[in-house]
Every structure is written in structure tokens, then in C-alpha cells.
Amino acid sequence: MKHRLLLFITTVLLALPCMAQHETLDLEPLRSDKGIEKKSSGFLGFLGKAMDWFTDYDTAYVEPNKYKFSMMLDDYTDFQYFNIRGDKPDRQKISFTPKPHNKLGVYFGWQIFFVGWAFDMNDLGKSKNKKDRGTDFNLSLYSAKIGVDLYYRRTSNDYNISKLKGFPSEVPRKFSSTFNGLRVDMKGLNLFYVLNNRRFSYPAAYSQSSNQRRSAGSFIVGASFTNHHLNFDYSKLPALISEYMKPEMKVTDINYKSYGVNFGYGYNWVFAYNFLANLSVSPELSYNSSKIKNVDSKNDLFENRLKVECILRASVVYNNSKWYAGAGFVGRTYDFSQRHFNLNNGYGTLQIYLGFNFGLKKEFKEKKK
């Protein structure tokens, strides 16, 4: 049975906004009875000011988190596709899709920590070699102003040939077969900055660490780095496909890096009290540097190109401060091409979760009294 320890895709997602224990509902400094501000000095004072900067919301639009602890049940499913295409003289394409992996996990959050165990439901009652298992690590930090996504994924080799195009009539277009000759390593880093950060809350949509009380949107700017390494053994394809496969598609190793800048827009729609829907789209201009090995070439092939890719996020959330539930999707497309050869792939994750917060923060206890 497969299991993995995750620093949940929001580790986070509660992280920075939850760190400011000293914030009040209106984000004004705490005052004594005489109206003199209470300020910490030294390192604690500096840390407090830094957290205030990260969580500086307009509370007419965003309500901060009131609790220190959280428990959550999470169902996490990933989706992928890979298309390999040759264009000489006519276009030919093979599409691969792995079986979606469904993981069920329980997570506990305290202050800036959000950790737990997740089990791959596909592996229950099955025995698998470690070599056949994939690896999925995600670490995300979302605050009012900035967000960071760090990830590493190593796919298992249980793919399906889902679609063929450009092959002779001897090969059925809806040909379907398993394929264990593709293994992919992906690692990357995404950074973004929210321009309208006082009125638009990313954490409200993706980490349940604040509540969006009035609808608002924001332009978002960011940068990213990704590195993909693919091992492709075309000899494991069914003989009917490999026989008619174009020579330029018979690659054995692909290694490409992408450096990108993106600019997009996100909107939080408060369609009912405690309910929120978010959609965020960020087109990205990326510089791709690639190295590829082909069975018909003695030397590695190198090429650098500019490409347009895209990052998509969407979510629906119910959060009454005490209880929360919702679903969120994050997807990304990648595109790599050389002369007469193209590879494009996409990766997406869907989360469905239910949880509750507890341990009211001190400042909210005082306000309640």
C-alpha cells in the first residue's frame, strides 16, 4: 500500500496568514486602556511588522482567520496527458494518459504547520515495486501579497495509449493499449504577486485561512521555472504502431528547461454569504532550452525557443470561519518543440476537502468578551 508524507499543497496554505497571532479584526494595533500602542521590540517586533505586511487586508473585503488549529479530510486526484507529434511530411500524433491517482489524506494544522498522511487509493490491496511507483511532493505558501509553489513529481510508468492521429488505416484511430515505456520527472517553482492584495484574497480561495466578504479581483504577475526529464522507450509500443511511426518521433531522452514570466487576472466572486468562487488565468511567455536524443542521430540535438503556456486555477469554497468545505483545481500546460518534432503535456490536480478550525485566537477571545 502506497503512502506518502505531504506538506500539503497548502502547508501552508494556512501558513503566512495564520502566523500573525497579534492581528485584530480591523488589523489595527492593539492598544492599552490609555490608547497607547503596545509594540514589541527587537526581533519579535520586526517579525510582527513583517507578518503585518504579509496579512494587510482591507477588512471590509477580507476577514482574517480567527483560529489557530485546523483538521481536514482531503481527497486529491491528479490528471496528466502527453502528446508526441511528428510533422514531416504529414502530422502524426500519439497521446498518452496515465490512470488518475486518487489520494485520501487527513491533515492537522497548527499555526504555520499543516501536515498529514495521504494514501493512494489505487494501491489498496495491491503490491507494487518501488520502481513502478510515482512520487508527488508539493509545498505552497500563499499570503495576501505573494504566493510560492514548489513541486516535484515523478510519474509511474502505467500509461495508456489514448489516441492516434496520422497513422495508416491499418492502425485504428481509437486504438487503445497500455504502455510502460514512459517515465517523467518534473520539478518546478512558481512565484506570483497579487497587485490588489488588500481586497483580493488568494488564501480565501485556496487555503481557507481567510474569508472573502465582498467580491473583488486582481491582476497577478509572476515568474516560474520548470525542468522536465522524459525517458521514452518507443520499442515498447505495440508493433503495429512502431512500424509506421515517423523516425523523428523515435526519441529516447528529452530534457528541457523553461523560464517564464506570466501576467493574468483572478476574481473572487462572493455569490452568497460564506460562499466563494474563484477563477484565475495567467498566460505565460516562456524561454525553453532543450536537449533531445534520437535513435537516428549520433549527437544530442539542442534548441532554444520562446513559447506561450498557461496556468489555470479555479475553486468553490464554503467557509463560515469554524467549518469549511470546497473543491479546487490547479492546471498547467507545457509545450516543447524542435524541428519536425513536438511534445506538449498538461498536469492538473483536483482537491475536494472538508475541515474545521478550533482554538480561537486570543485577540478574538478578548473581542468576544
Please report which confidence band the pLDDT of residue 128 belongs to, taking 50, 70 and 90 as the band edges: low
- Mean pLDDT of the residues in the chain: 79
Q: Between 295 and 324, whose confidence is greater? A: 324
Q: Is residue 186 packed enough to be buried (19+ CB in 10 Å), middle (13-18) or exposed (0-12)?
A: buried
The model's pLDDT over 74-109, given as tens digits with 9 standing for 90+, comes to 998 888 888 888 876 678 888 888 877 788 889 887
d(CA 153, CA 138): 8
Mean pLDDT across 180-204: 91
Tell me the C-alpha to C-alpha distance, in Å, between residue 226 and each of 37, 286, 311, 320, 351.
Answer: 46, 10, 13, 37, 23
Find where cell 472538508 sits.
354
Query: What's the pLDDT at 22?
Result: 34
DSSP 8-state assignment for residue 297: -
Q: Would you say residue 292 has pLDDT above 90? A: no
The model's pLDDT over 33-70, given as tens digits with 9 standing for 90+, comes to 333 344 455 655 555 555 566 667 888 999 988 888 89
Three-state SS at 44: helix
Rg (CA), the chain: 24
Query: What's the pLDDT at 49?
Result: 59
CATH class of the domain whose range is 3-368: mainly beta
Q: Would you say residue 135 has pLDDT above 60? A: yes
Q: Would you say residue 314 has pLDDT above 90? A: yes
Helical H segments across 191-316, by residue range: 202-206, 239-244
pTM: 0.78
Domain coordinates in residue numbering, the chain? 3-368
d(CA 2, CA 18): 31
Query: What's the pLDDT at 73?
Result: 93
- Decide if 301 contacts 338 (C-beta within 8 A): yes
**In what helix (H) or strand (E) does residue 268 lie, and over which residues does it extend?**
strand 251-272
Q: Would you say residue 4 has pLDDT above 50? A: no
